[in-house]
A and B are shown apart, each in its own frame.
Chain A
Amino acid sequence: MTPVGSGDPLTTAQAFLGAVAWADHTTVWELLAPTARHAVLELATRRGMDPLLAARLREGAATTEERDDFLADLLHGLRAEVAGVDLETVRCVVGEGGTTVPGSVLVRLVADVPAELGAAVPVGRIEVVRSGGRWAVVRLDGAS
């Protein structure tokens, strides 16, 4: 079995986008880089999550119910970022280096428009980084 996110920046970004769209909640979590998971849990704690629960989630010791509740909120947040994007037609294009962590790569999400209106329109971006022998997601930004 191929480890999640073991491919390249493009396939990792596409897999992440697909997992967000199809609510493959554990895949979304697995595709996040450790720094991104840490940032998500830190933000959740600042917003009122029990620090002990955050610790259990970080260590993979949370119950299935705790994990699913948390990942449901995470999914909703990620989907809000791409709520205006038609995920059936959006394309991923590898771009320049990212800025969140050293060595990261930006994968741009672009939507094609009629030729007379010009080039494809950027609708978001996914930043990925090589971490622990695989590519993993650092952040997802929507254009809105």
Chain B
Amino acid sequence: MTDAAHRRYRVAINAETLALAWARQEAGPSGSVVVVDHEISPRGRLGRLWPHPAQQTAVLAMIWRPTLRADQADLVWLAASLGLLAAARSVTAEREMGLSWPDALVDAGARRLGEVRAEVQLGPERVTSAVVTARLDIDALGNADRDTVIAALVDGLATGAADLANDADRTRVSYSAACVLTGRRVIARLLPRGTARGTVRGVDAHGRLELVSSTGFVERVPLVGLDRVELWP
């Protein structure tokens, strides 16, 4: 399938690579979609490999051209995550799901059902474009039809982009409400080392995770400095 806004490949290194090339070299418009049936190197945040085989994975990358300041760049991750959640909910009726900051879609047992990755291109003081990749584990969604899931992902990410364009703060509020970490005590493992601990209050206007201590001290963990977030037992 190839048209002005959609390209589909049987095999590729990954969807993000192709979408990035489209965005940079051909000025791909916002909403352009790359679907790959079999990614050879399905990498998420920090280059970590998506653990599920290609046969049970639905993946696409979409070009966004959001109107955001450079310091709001990480909101793209939140909007993409909300799009992923909407897509997953549209193809499964009953499963209890939520978002785990910054990139995961998880079920009630904290099992990773999906993930997003955002490659954001910055210009002077602003975001010029972003390539958002979303992956879903089809098996975990009750063996949904791949093309149905892909269509749901297209709709979900398009909605996420539109909501971000309309009201970035609403995206932040919606994400905080959908995040399974909100209200939980967590340890944020930082890079290259160190930790931050506290009770998750939500995310702030820059997409950072807000941790509140028992004495009311608020720490904000930026996505760039994060290794992983663990729930406190």
Contact = CB atoms under 8 A, between A and B. Distances in A.
Given A24-B217, A26-B215, A72-B217, A83 B196 contact: no
A72 B214 CA distance: 14
A43 to B, nearest CB: 21
B194 interface: yes
A95 interface: no
Interface string A76-101: 00011001100100000000000000
A68 interface: yes
Interface centre among A22, A27, A80 (most CB of B within 10 A): A22
A6 B2 CA distance: 72
Interface residues of A, number: 16
10 contacts: A21-B195, A23-B198, A24-B214, A25-B217, A26-B215, A27-B215, A75-B217, A79-B195, A83-B193, A83-B194
B219 interface: yes
Interface residues of B, number: 12
Contacts of B198: 22-23
Contacts of A80: 194
A71 interface: yes
Contacts of B196: 23
Nearest to B185: A22
Contact of B197 (A21, A26, A72, A83): A21
Contact of A71 (B193, B194, B211, B217): B217
A22 B214 contact: yes
Nearest 4 CB-CB pairings of A with B? A23-B213, A25-B217, A26-B215, A24-B215
A23 B210 CA distance: 12
Nearest to A30: B215
Interface in A50-82: 68, 71-72, 75, 79-80
A4 to B, nearest CB: 11
Contacts of A21: 195, 197
Interface centre among B194, B197, B198, B213 (most CB of A within 10 A): B213
Interface in B73-129: none
A80 B194 CA distance: 8
Interface centre among B193, B194, B211, B217 (most CB of A within 10 A): B217
Nearest to B193: A83
A117 B232 CA distance: 29
Interface string B198-216: 1000000000000101110
B197 A22 contact: yes
